[in-house]
Amino acid sequence: MGEVAAELLYGMPAMPLSWPGPDGIGGGGGGAEAAGGCGALLAELRQLWGEIGKSREERERTVRELEMECMRVYRRKVDEATAERASLHQSLAAGEAEIAALTAALGADSSPQLKVNKWTMSLNDRVSAATNLLEELRAMKAERSKQFTAIRSEIDKISTEISGRSYGYDNSPRASEFDEHDLTIRRLNEYRARLSSLQKEKSDRLHRVLEHVTEVHSLCDVLGEDFIAIVNEVHPGLHETADPGKPTSISDSTLASLSQVVAMLTSEKTKRAAMLREAVVPLVELWDLMDLPEEERRSFRKATAVLRPAREEALSSGVLSIATIKKTEEEVERLTRLKAGRMKELVLKRRLELESICRSMHVEPDTSTVPEKSIALIDSGLVNPSELMASIDEQIAKAKEEQQSRKEIMDKINKWLLACEEEKWLEEYNLDENRFNTGRIARLNLKRAEKARLIINKIPAMIDNLMSRTLVWETERNKPFLFDGARLVAVLEEHKQARLRQEEERRRLREQKKLRTLFSEKEAMPHLKRPGSSFGRATEPCNMSRKRVDAAPPSVRSSSGSSGSSGGGAADPFRPRSSAAAGSGAGHCGEFFRSGGARRLSAAAPFNYVAVSKGGGGGGGGLSSSMMS
């Protein structure tokens, strides 16, 4: 038995019990207090047993029971402490394992590490440190998992849109499962790269879808088809009236369907454009043939755009609709019926156009389609009016082509005729006795006369240039250049020779004028009288010369007088020398063309120089022979 049992049985003094201290090795103040409390209780129990009269056997049995009960209490405490230590070890091991798993999942580079010293730290401190680290790692895992979930959700959403599977429109899609044991930054970057690639593919597909939808809308607008009905057959979310919450379909099937719709509408557009073109071509021909006013053409102007392939994409709305094509065909039928009753008027109008073009070129039009003959052919039914119109149109086309080739020469002819007009005006101006009067009109006429003289001096160069250009034209086309029925080169050559004859006549008249002036001065000289016997001898030559002049035939004197008047020297002493370029015949070249004289050019000269030459020549010759004698 123990000390307690001996003290209870035999009254021996109780030894102080030794209680383990806080460190479990030695006793302390708490043990002494506990021993003192137990001693008092033992003393009280011994006293009670003595009063009761307990036997030794009973006392020993009771003591053994007390010792067994104490052992059970100690064992229970030891077991509890052992269990607590085991639990702490287990918790620490579990925490360290979870820490290792989270560190491996999050990546060792981005995870905090557990730093403990198991030799200096108690189990509770180590478990507390592991618990704090574990909470931090769990928070990091939750945040990383949230990022993975968001990215994976977006990847699944875009993948579903691309694949065309049903995804739902509740804006909270459930992300597919991902590996929670790999939450590293590397794995997260891979998901981000995949998401970026899918987003780019989605953007490209969306751009292609919008291009197809825009093209379908444009084609439907031109063809007059229902855009919404056609697009709904492909996908309901492709037009503006669709549910705004639904994403635009970008799947392969949608793109393929849109491509098929675009191809179908493009083919239909080509077919209808050909149909409309077949209707518009005769419509435009009838417009030009019948010369319809713009008011009747305006309603079909948009349809004529189909005749310009370069601007086919700019067709207006509904221009290729079935209704527009049908309306155009009906208009062609109406104009065709109307054309039959207006063919005579149209033929005459085309003939007048041909005559106008030929008149501007100063040539005769083709006589095979004269109005009288054309109307007679139409009335007799011997010729189709359309064929007659085609013949006149062909003549008009040839006339326009020749008009274009003659344009340069015609411009030179007009300049030449204007110069001739100025020459005629200058001739009339020089004959005006009041041309030197003061006044604004006189000053303007004087300026015009100076300009006219400059222009007249260029006439020979104009003629030479016009002749050379005309000869080149005739060589290129192997036919003569006719002007009012006469060959222009012959007219120009005749005019050139006439100007040469005129210049020769002017030169001869100037010589005659000089001789008349000299004769008049000699005749008007006074008789010089000298003193002495030499007076009679000095006057004899004068008398002889006077007799010689008086002895001249009257025809010579009259001829010289008429020649002087025709030259204009005595009649108009103030006439400038340059006015000789505007003689009596040279200014009538323009009047010659307008009066139709060019057609008679080969039969007679255009200028009345023959009479002048004969009269002036006779007088000049007589005067010259008289002076020489």
Residue 123 to residues 44, 79, 97, 133, 479: CA-CA distances in angstroms? 43, 17, 16, 15, 129
Helix (H) or strand (E) holding 303: none
d(CA 559, CA 625): 13
Q: Say whether pLDDT at 306 is over 70.
A: yes
* Range of weakest confidence among 246-260, 284-298, 422-436, 530-544: 530-544
**In sequence order, what are the residues at sequence separation of 6 or more whose Cβ sits closer than 8 angstroms to the Cβ of residue 163?**
251, 252
**What is the pLDDT averaged over residues 40-57?**
86
Residue ranges of E strands in 45-173: none
Q: Say whether pLDDT at 539 is over 50.
A: no
- Indicate the domain borders of the chain: 44-142, 343-521
**What is the pLDDT averaged over residues 60-73?**
89
Task: Tell me the two tokens of residue 214.
Answer: 């825009």
Q: Say whether pLDDT at 221 is over 50.
A: yes
Do 388 and 369 touch, CB atoms closer than 8 A? yes
**In sequence order, what are the residues at sequence separation of 6 or more whose Cβ sits closer than 8 angstroms to the Cβ of residue 440?**
none
- 3-state DSSP assignment of residue 487: strand
Confidence of residue 11 (pLDDT cuts 50, 70, 90): low
Q: Say whether pLDDT at 345 is over 70.
A: yes
* Range of weakest confidence among 65-79, 243-257, 317-331: 243-257
| Residue 31, pLDDT score | 54
Q: Say whether pLDDT at 182 is over 50.
A: yes
**What is the pLDDT averaged over residues 323-344?**
85
**What is the pLDDT averaged over residues 466-471?**
91
* Range of weakest confidence among 83-97, 239-253, 486-500, 541-555: 541-555
Q: Say whether pLDDT at 3 is over 90.
A: no
Half-sphere exposure of 252 (CA within 13 A, CB side): 4
| Residue 552, pLDDT score | 37
**What is the pLDDT averaged over residues 138-159?**
89
| Residue 579, pLDDT score | 34
Q: Say whether pLDDT at 268 is over 60.
A: yes
Confidence of residue 588 (pLDDT cuts 50, 70, 90): very low
Q: Say whether pLDDT at 525 is over 60.
A: yes
Better-scored residue on pLDDT, 576 or 411:
411
Q: What is the DSSP letter of 576?
A: -
What percent of the chain is predicted at pLDDT more than 90? 16
| Residue 441, pLDDT score | 87
Mean pLDDT score of the chain:
74
Q: Say whether pLDDT at 602 is over 80.
A: no
| Residue 550, pLDDT score | 39
Do 383 and 377 touch, CB atoms closer than 8 A? yes
Tens-digit pLDDT profile for residues 124-136 = 888 888 888 888 8
Tens-digit pLDDT profile for residues 392-449 = 888 899 888 888 988 999 999 999 999 999 989 988 888 888 877 878 888 888 899 9
| Residue 296, pLDDT score | 85
Better-scored residue on pLDDT, 610 or 160:
160
| Residue 200, pLDDT score | 93
| Residue 19, pLDDT score | 42
Confidence of residue 597 (pLDDT cuts 50, 70, 90): very low
* Range of weakest confidence among 286-295, 426-435, 453-462: 286-295
**What is the pLDDT averaged over residues 212-229?**
88
Better-scored residue on pLDDT, 106 or 35:
106
The sign one gets for the Cα dihedral 135, 141, 145, 151 is: positive
| Residue 120, pLDDT score | 63
Helix (H) or strand (E) holding 445: helix 440-457
Confidence of residue 54 (pLDDT cuts 50, 70, 90): confident
**What is the pLDDT averaged over residues 584-594?**
44
Task: Tell me the two tokens of residue 237.
Answer: 């979310």
Confidence of residue 542 (pLDDT cuts 50, 70, 90): very low
**What is the pLDDT averaged over residues 536-542?**
41
**What is the pLDDT averaged over residues 27-55?**
73
* Range of weakest confidence among 72-86, 90-104, 304-318: 304-318
pTM score, whole prediction = 0.47
**Most confident range, picked from 11-20, 28-37, 546-555:** 28-37
Question: CA end-to-end span of the chain, whole Å?
Answer: 210
Residue ranges of E strands in 4-73: none
Query: Residues 3-33, buried b or exposed e (16+ Cβ, 10 A)?
Result: ebbebbbeeeebeebebeeeeeeeeeeebee
d(CA 55, CA 45): 14
CA 173 from chain centre, in angstroms, equals: 47
Better-scored residue on pLDDT, 491 or 597:
491
Quickly tell me which residue has 């001829």 as its tokens. Answer: 559
Nearest CA-CA partner of 208 in 142, 175, 171, 162: 162
Q: Say whether pLDDT at 452 is over 60.
A: yes
Tens-digit pLDDT profile for residues 95-120 = 888 888 888 888 766 566 666 556 66
| Residue 76, pLDDT score | 93
Confidence of residue 309 (pLDDT cuts 50, 70, 90): low
